[in-house]
Structure 1
Amino acid sequence: MRWRDSKQSYNVEDRRGQEPMQAGMGGAGLLRLLPFLLRTKIGRIVLIAGAAFYAFQYFTGVNMLQGGMPDTSSSAMSGEQAAASSNDENRQFVAAILGTTETVWQQKLGGDYKEPTLVLYSGMTQTGCGVGQAQTGPFYCPADQKVYLDLSFMNELKKLGAPGDFAFAYVIAHEVGHHVQKLLGTSDQVHQAQQTSGKAQANTLSVMLELQADCYAGVWGHEVNKQMNMLEEGDIEEGIQAANAVGDDRLQQAAGQAVHPDSFTHGSSAQRIEWFKRGFESGDMTACDTFAELK
C-alpha cells in the first residue's frame, strides 16, 4: 500500500508499555476488593498504606515502581517512550489507515460520522466493554466507541497465511465498520434482537453483523483504491487472504476442531471473502445488506 504520504489520524491512543494500573485496570479490581478490605483491620491498614503510597508518588512525581525516577510526562509514557512511539512505523501505519477510514466515512455519512478512537495496547487493557486481551484479537467496543488493537496480531495474521500491509489494513477497516454499524443503529438493533433469540439465531445475527462489517471494509477498500490510489499490485489478494484466514471454519480447523456451522459467530471464510468483495467491487453501502435474507 502507498500509505506513507497519507494523512495520519490524531485519534490514536497509545497505551503500549503501560502497566495494568496505568492502562485503567486497577480501579475496577480495587472496587471489587474494597468491601473485603474494609471488613478487617489489616485490610484497612493496607488501604491507608496504599493511599499514602500513591499520594507520595502523585505529589512528588517519583515513580517508586520504576526505580524512584520522576515521571515528567503528562501521560503514562515517558518522554523517550512518547518519542519512540511517534517514530514507530507500525503506529504511523495504523494512524494512516485510520485516517483513510475517516476520509471515506465522512464522505459516506457526512455530518453523522463521529470518528472513533483507536487504542494501541500490549497484552491487556481496560475498555468500556471490560478487560481487553490480545488473544481475543482486534475488537470494537460500542460502549466507548473505541477500536482496540494489539500489534502482535500482525504476526498472528502472518501465521494464518495472511501477510502484508493491506491484510492488516483490512482488519482495521473491519473494526471501523463496526463503528459505522453503531452510528447507524444496526449493532444496537442486533444486540437487542439477540436478547430474545435462541443461541442458534443469536449466532446467525452475529454472523450477519460481522459480514456486513467485512462488506464495509470492502467499501473502504474501493474508495482508497479509486480516490486515493493507495493500492499496489497484490493488495487486493492480501485482503482476500485476510478474510479467508479469519473465517470461523478455518479457525476451527486450525485449532484441531471439527467444523460446526451452527457455532459460527463471524462467518465462514467463503462468506467473508464474498462480502468483502461485494463492498470492494461496488463501493456502495447499500450492497452490504447482509440481513436481507432474514427479513
Structure 2
Amino acid sequence: MKWQGRRQSDNVEDRRSISGGKVAVGGGIIGIIILLVNIFGGENAQLITPVLEQLQGGQQTQTEAAAPLSKEDEEMGNFVRVMLAYNEDTWSKIFEENGMTYQKPKLVLFRGSVQTACGGASSSSGPFYCPGDKKVYMDLGFFEELKSKFGAKGGDFAISYVIAHEIGHHIQTLLGTSAKMREAQQGKSEAEANKLSVALELQADFYAGVWAHHNKENLDAGDIDEALSAASAVGDDAIQSKMQGHVVPDSFTHGSSEQRMYWFEKGFNTGDIKQGNTFSEVR
C-alpha cells in the first residue's frame, strides 16, 4: 500500500522501547489458549483477563530491558502511523456523511507485555482492541508468526488489514454494537454466545473491507490477496486444525476462514457500512 510521504497519525503510542517485559503465565499451553481465544482480540481481550489471572496463579511477572529500536523498527512504526491516519481520514468522512462525529482511538505498539484497561496481555494475545480505554494494542512480532505458524502471505497489507479490523471494533464501540452484543450474550448457552461473538468479529472484518474500498487508489497490486490470506489464516477452523488437529464449530469465536474472507470482500466490494449486518445475515 502506498504510504511513503503520507500523513502520519499523532495517535500512536510507541512503547516498544519501554515495555519488552515477559509475562510469566506458567507454560506454553496457556500461550496457546490465549492465542486461540484472543487472536485479533476484539471484545475477547476483556473477557479473557479473569481466566489469565486464575491460570497465572499469583506468579510474579518477569521483566527484561527492551532492546532499542532498529532502523527497521522505526520504519514499521512510521508505516503504522500512516495506516492509522488512513483509518482516521476514512472513518471521519464516513461518520460525517452519516451525521455523526468520529472519535479517534489510540494505537499502542508494545513488545512482550502490556497493561491495559482490559487487564494485562502478552505478545501471544495477538493484536486486540480494548473497549475500556478505546485503544488498539499491537506487538508487530505477531505478523512474523502469522506467516511462519499460520501460513499467511507476507506483505504490508496484512498489517493494514489487522489495523483496520481492530479499528472496526472501535467503530462497534462507538455505535453501541459491542455493548448490545454483550447484553445479548447474557443468559445464552456457550454455543449461542459464541455465535454472537463470531458475528461481532465478522462485522469488524467487513468494516476493514469498507476501509479498503475507500482507499482503492492507494492500494498496490496484490494487497487484497494479502488481506484475504491473513483473514483465512486466522479463521477459527484453520487455527483449530493446526493447533489441535480437529475443528469444533460450536467453539468458534471469530468465524471460519471462509466467513472472514467473505465479509472482508463484501465490505471491499460494497463500501457501504449499511451492508454489514452480520448478526442477521449468516453465511
The change in CA–CA distance for 1:10 and 1:85 in structure 2 (over 3 A counts) is farther
Mapping for residues 12-23 of structure 1, pairs under 5 Å: 12-19=12-19
The Cα of 1:254 is off from its aligned counterpart by 1.2
1:210 equivalent in structure 2: 201
Residue type at the aligned position of 2:138 = L
Aligned residues: 236
- Do the aligned residues in 2 keep the contact of 1:86 with 1:92 (CA within 8 Å)? no
The sequence identity of aligned pairs, in percent, is 50
Mapped to 2, the partners of 1:149 and 1:161 lie a distance apart of 20
The change in CA–CA distance for 1:169 and 1:178 in structure 2 (over 3 A counts) is same
Q: Unaligned regions of 5+ residues in structure 1, if any?
A: 22-64, 67-76
1:201-242 CA-to-partner distances (Å, cap 9, x unmatched) read 1100000000000000000000111xxx21111111111101
Mapped to 2, the partners of 1:144 and 1:90 lie a distance apart of 24
Mapping for residues 7-46 of structure 1, pairs under 5 Å: 7-19=7-19
Greater helix fraction, Structure 1 or Structure 2: 1
Q: Specify the structure having the higher radius of gyration (Cα).
A: 1
Helix, strand or coil: the match of 1:147?
strand
Mapped to 2, the partners of 1:272 and 1:3 lie a distance apart of 26
1:38 equivalent in structure 2: none
Helix, strand or coil: the match of 2:16?
coil
**Runs of 4+ off more than 4 Å:** 84-87
- Do the aligned residues in 2 keep the contact of 1:85 with 1:91 (CA within 8 Å)? no
Alignment of 1:129 onto 2:115: no
The counterpart of 2:276, out of the listed 273, 280, 288, is 288
- Farther-moved stretch of structure 1 (233-242 vs 86-95): 86-95
The change in CA–CA distance for 1:259 and 1:92 in structure 2 (over 3 A counts) is same
Mapped to 2, the partners of 1:14 and 1:5 lie a distance apart of 20
The counterpart of 2:172, out of the listed 177, 181, 187, is 181
Helix, strand or coil: the match of 2:5?
coil
The counterpart of 1:155, out of the listed 144, 160, 164, is 144
2:85 equivalent in structure 1: 99
The Cα of 1:134 is off from its aligned counterpart by 0.8
Mapped to 1, the partners of 2:182 and 2:239 lie a distance apart of 24
- Farther-moved stretch of structure 1 (192-201 vs 243-252): 192-201
Residue type at the aligned position of 1:166 = F
- Do the aligned residues in 1 keep the contact of 2:19 with 2:112 (CA within 8 Å)? no
Larger RCO (alpha carbons 8 Å, 6+ apart): 2
Mapped to 2, the partners of 1:292 and 1:191 lie a distance apart of 16
The change in CA–CA distance for 1:246 and 1:19 in structure 2 (over 3 A counts) is closer
The counterpart of 2:239, out of the listed 241, 245, 251, is 251
Residue type at the aligned position of 2:95 = L
The Cα of 1:161 is off from its aligned counterpart by 2.2
1:52 equivalent in structure 2: none
Helix, strand or coil: the match of 2:136?
strand
1:254-286 CA-to-partner distances (Å, cap 9, x unmatched) read 113310000000000000000000000000001
1:268 equivalent in structure 2: 256
Q: Unaligned regions of 5+ residues in structure 2, if any?
A: 22-63
Mapped to 2, the partners of 1:100 and 1:19 lie a distance apart of 26
Residue type at the aligned position of 1:13 = E
Mapped to 2, the partners of 1:169 and 1:19 lie a distance apart of 23
- Farther-moved stretch of structure 1 (86-95 vs 252-261): 86-95
1:192 equivalent in structure 2: 183
Helix, strand or coil: the match of 2:151?
coil
The change in CA–CA distance for 1:175 and 1:220 in structure 2 (over 3 A counts) is same
TM-score, structure 2 normalization: 0.78
Residue type at the aligned position of 1:279 = G
Residue type at the aligned position of 1:272 = R
Residue type at the aligned position of 1:121 = F
Mapped to 1, the partners of 2:146 and 2:3 lie a distance apart of 20
Mapped to 1, the partners of 2:112 and 2:73 lie a distance apart of 21
Helix, strand or coil: the match of 1:255?
helix
TM-score, structure 1 normalization: 0.75
1:165-194 CA-to-partner distances (Å, cap 9, x unmatched) read 111110010000000000000001001111
1:224 equivalent in structure 2: 215
The change in CA–CA distance for 1:19 and 1:233 in structure 2 (over 3 A counts) is closer
- Do the aligned residues in 1 keep the contact of 2:83 with 2:160 (CA within 8 Å)? yes
2:38 equivalent in structure 1: none
The change in CA–CA distance for 1:161 and 1:253 in structure 2 (over 3 A counts) is same
1:87-138 CA-to-partner distances (Å, cap 9, x unmatched) read 7011011111000000110011125210000000111110000002110100
- Do the aligned residues in 1 keep the contact of 2:107 with 2:135 (CA within 8 Å)? yes
- Do the aligned residues in 1 keep the contact of 2:208 with 2:264 (CA within 8 Å)? yes
